[in-house]
Amino acid sequence: MPVLNILHRTEYRYGSAVAPGPHRMMLRPRETRELRLLSFDLIIRPEASVTWAHDVAGNSIATATFPGLTDHLTIESRMTVDLSAQAWPVFDIAASAQHYPFRYSDEDWIDLGALARPQYADMAGRLSGWAEGFVMGRPTDTLSLLRDVGNGVSGQISYQSREVEGTQGPLETLDRGWGSCRDIAVLFAEAARTLGFGARIVSGYLFDATQDLIGSADGGSTHAWVEVFVPGAGWISFDPTNRSMGSANLIPVAAARHIAQVAPVTGNFRGRPSDLLGMAVQVTVAPAGRGGA
């Protein structure tokens, strides 16, 4: 797999000088055995004071504070990563978890905690009933079941990019029959949780070498997918938007229980709401040496 250059730029324009409040940024990729971060630069205009920390999930969090007024704000991250994930991975699932249903160990269950509990109300059991429809028998192959759920999500939900903030709930996505990659990821994660799996939402970047993937085709979009914890194999990536399993093409930045916890940039400003003229986001992912970042 290639060495990639990634550019992520967020630009705010204001009609008059405003006082930016603190901005929280999740832009630095999560390094794994399949992803090595070779370089990372964060450029903020106007100049800001930046501090770094890790949240409870181990994500890198940068916080920028601004000393004065400005009529524009640009947050730009430039990074180079070495992505070595295999296109056709083999997962060494523990014998105890190769067939569903299985039981997590007491230690794993405690540590998974809220990651194994649905985050959206389903009083009538509609979502759990929908997810149960993918269980062909008990026992059944664990990995095949998860793959079937992912294929079922992408087969029933059409991808549609949305510029508005926020994410649809899983039942809303089912009812509408369409959603963004964020909506599709939330639906898959909630379905997996209703079946008893631990799952977390991941936000990051999608490398589309063949230009036939969906989810970040628009110039200003990041991508979202899901990781499911399976004993022995650990966290396995599922991208239901593209019917794929494994980390090939995926560059994770943040992983969390809820989609709202992995927003790349959040912040505010002191001024009139009408002062905000607009926001523009640009994301490019390209092989090193080909430009674009």
pLDDT value for 235:
98
**This prediction's pTM:** 0.94
Q: What is the pLDDT of residues 47-74, one digit of tens each?
A: 999 999 999 999 999 999 999 999 999 9
Alpha-carbon span 131 to 191, nearest angstrom: 5
CB 58 within 8 A of CB 30: yes
Phi, psi of 122 (to 5 degrees): -145, 60
Average pLDDT over residues 12-17: 97
Over 70: is that where the pLDDT of 290 sits? no
Low-confidence winner among 93-97, 195-199, 236-240, 284-288 (lowest mean pLDDT): 284-288
pLDDT value for 217:
52
Alpha-carbon span 116 to 152, nearest angstrom: 20
- In 102-137, which positions are buried (b, 16+ CB within 10 angstroms) versus exposed (e)? bebeeeeeeebeebbebbeebeeeebeebbeebeee
Alpha-carbon span 10 to 283, nearest angstrom: 9
List of long-range contacts for 91-96, beta carbons under 8 Å, 24+ apart:
91/143, 91/230, 91/232, 91/233, 91/236, 92/232, 92/233, 93/142, 93/143, 93/230, 93/231, 93/232, 93/233, 94/230, 94/231, 94/232, 94/233, 95/232, 96/231
CB 198 within 8 A of CB 112: yes
Average pLDDT over residues 159-178: 87
Q: What is the pLDDT of residues 208-263, one digit of tens each?
A: 887 778 765 544 579 999 999 999 999 999 999 999 999 999 999 999 999 999 99
